[in-house]
Homo-oligomer: A and B are copies of this chain.
Amino acid sequence: MVNPSKWQRATGAEVRQACRRGELSGPTSGLALGYVQANLVILPRDWAFDFLLFCQRNPQACPILEVTDPGDPEARLVAPGSDLRTDLPAYRIWERGECVAEVSEIARWWREDSVAFLLGCSFTFEAALLQAGLRVRHIELGRNVPMFRTNIPCQAAGRFHGPLVVSMRPFPPQHVIRAIQITRRYPRAHGAPVHLGQPAAIGISDLLRPDYGDPVPVEADEIPLFWACGVTPQAALLHARPPLAITHKPGHMFVTDLLDSQLDEAI
C-alpha cells in the first residue's frame, strides 16, 4: 500500500521511477514537494510546429518547460534519464480530438515522430502561495481546482485555436494583492492572474459550475482570481482534431528534476 508521506518527501526521479514500476497511479498533487510538475502533450511531428507556435503565442496558458526531439522519449533538460512513455501515473489517448482511453503507459502509442511538450503547472505557484501563508481553498477542501472556459480567445496557430481556460482561486482583498505579487514571479507556471473580480466579463456565468475540476465556494468577503490554465491546450486539441495526441490525465502530472525555486524569476 502506498504511504503518501513517503512520496511527499521523495525526489522527482523517485516518483517517476515509482510510476515506471507501476507503484504510483494516482494524482501527483502533494508528491515530491519542491519539485516542478508538468503538463504533458504528445503530438506527431507534423502537428508539432503548429502546437509549438500555439504555446509560444499563448505563454501564460502554455509555458514551455521542454520540447523533446522527435522520437526521443527522454526529457533530457528537465528530467535526465526519464522515459515519458512510462513515468507518469496515468495518460489519456486522444484520437481526432476525442479521448478514447486512459492508460498507465503509452509504449503502444509512441511513434518514431512523436514530439513531447512539457508545460508548467500551477502546483509551483500554489506551493509559493502556501509558503507565504495564504490559504488555498481547494487544497484545504481536498478538491481539484475549479476551471472554466472563458470568452477570451487564444491566439490561434495553424490548426490550433480555442478559448482560454482559467483556474479560479478566491482570496480576501489583502491576499489578492499578495497573490498577484507572488504568482507574477513564476511566468513558467502561468504567472500572474489574467482576471479578477468579474467572472461575467470573461464569459463565466456560474462560479459553482466549473467546466473542469470541482466547485469551490467564494465567500462574501472574497474576490475570485483567475489564472491561465494548463487545460487550455486540451481545449485546443478538441478543435484541431489531430489523428493522435497523448496527454497526462488531469492531476496526474510528470514530475521533473527542476526545483520550484528555479522557476522563481525574482531570484
Q: Mark A residues whose CB is within 8 Å of B.
A: 45, 48-49, 52-53, 56-57, 64, 67, 69, 77, 155, 157-158, 187, 265
Which residue of B has the minimal Cβ distance to A59? Answer: B64
18 of the cross-chain contacts (CB-CB < 8 Å) are A45-B49, A48-B49, A49-B49, A49-B52, A52-B52, A52-B53, A52-B56, A53-B67, A56-B56, A56-B64, A56-B67, A57-B67, A57-B77, A69-B157, A69-B158, A77-B155, A187-B265, A265-B265
What 6 A-B pairs come out closest when comparing CB atoms? A49-B49, A52-B52, A53-B67, A56-B64, A48-B49, A56-B67
Contacts of A53 in B (CB 8 A): 52, 67
A228 CA / B49 CA spacing, docked (Å): 25
Which residue of B has the minimal Cβ distance to A49? Answer: B49
Contacts of A155 in B (CB 8 A): 77
Shortest A51–chain B CB gap in Å is 10
Contacts of A45 in B (CB 8 A): 49
Contacts of A69 in B (CB 8 A): 157-158
A155 CA / B67 CA spacing, docked (Å): 12
Contacts of A57 in B (CB 8 A): 67, 77
A187 CA / B45 CA spacing, docked (Å): 29
Among A53, A158, A187, A265, max chain B CB count under 10 A is at A53
A57 CA / B155 CA spacing, docked (Å): 22
Shortest A79–chain B CB gap in Å is 15
Contacts of A49 in B (CB 8 A): 45, 48-49, 52
Among A52, A57, A155, A158, max chain B CB count under 10 A is at A52
Shortest A54–chain B CB gap in Å is 11
Which residue of B has the minimal Cβ distance to A191? Answer: B265
Which residue of B has the minimal Cβ distance to A51? Answer: B49
Shortest A111–chain B CB gap in Å is 16
